[in-house]
Amino acid sequence: MNDEATHRDFKNRLYEQFARVGKAIASPARIEFLELLAQGERTVDSLAKETGLSLANASQHLIALREAGLVLSRKAGLSVHYRLADPSVFELTRAMRIVAERRLAEIDRLVAEHFVGRADSEAVSFEDLLAKARSGEVVVLDTRPAHEYEAGHIEGAVSAPVDALQARLRTLPKSKEYVAYCRGPYCVYADQAVELLRANGRTAHRLQDGYPEWKAAGLPVETV
């Protein structure tokens, strides 16, 4: 085989491996699984319940992700737990999201329809939150489920799952300012929390992005 043919064979085999990753994430369910796993380790059962898939279907999607090297698994008793294989996996999904946001007008329409009244200009940036937190001006609320908070959260944040926030209002002084965050820019928990807090006389804003983006930026995080 001559040098040109050898190089062509190398390129064909190389891009075939790259395509394995593309094929693995060419599924809405698998992309959502990766987003959920960016919050922390999850069992197959919990992923299936949250996404409305059967256990068998969820398992098949997760196996495809594992075979492409995107997730890792471990057994604990009768349960199988999955986690992202590497921080670069989250970066891959974020890069895909950014390209889609820039190139697909349908995303703007979907977001506008779903998040009626959301004003991006009111969202707090990471830089602003850091400054406010250091000065003690704000209380940061993690509105995700408690198990996601325990797996990792913004340093100093208070666990306040949105479905339990109404019951906790008495413990949240009206004199404070609140910044709520959740899983990412398309997670509804932070928006719901802000709406509830404002309706009950609190000053509240949502964080521009979520916990995975904060962690990927190398900003302070902690676990329980």
Higher pLDDT, 121 or 213: 213
Q: What is the DSSP string of 97-136?
A: HHHHHHH-HHHHHHHHHHSTT--GGGSBPHHHHHHHHHTT
φ/ψ (deg, to 5) at 198: -65, -35
**Which residues carry out catalysis?**
182
pTM above 0.85, yes or no: yes
Number of H helices, E strands in the chain: 11, 9
CA–CA distance, 130 with 136 (Å, rounded to integer): 10
H-type alpha helices, 25-119: 28-37, 44-51, 55-67, 87-103, 105-114
Say what the pLDDT of residue 211 is: 98
Domains of the chain: 3-89 (1.10.10.10), 114-222 (3.40.250.10)
Residue % of the chain over a pLDDT of 70 = 99
Q: Which of 185, 148, 175 is nearest to 163 (CA)?
A: 148
Model confidence over 166-224: pLDDT tens digits?
999 999 999 999 999 999 999 999 999 999 999 999 999 999 999 999 999 999 999 98
Say what the pLDDT of residue 1 is: 63
Q: Which of 172, 217, 208 is nearest to 190 (CA)?
A: 208
Statement: residue 84 has pLDDT above 80: yes
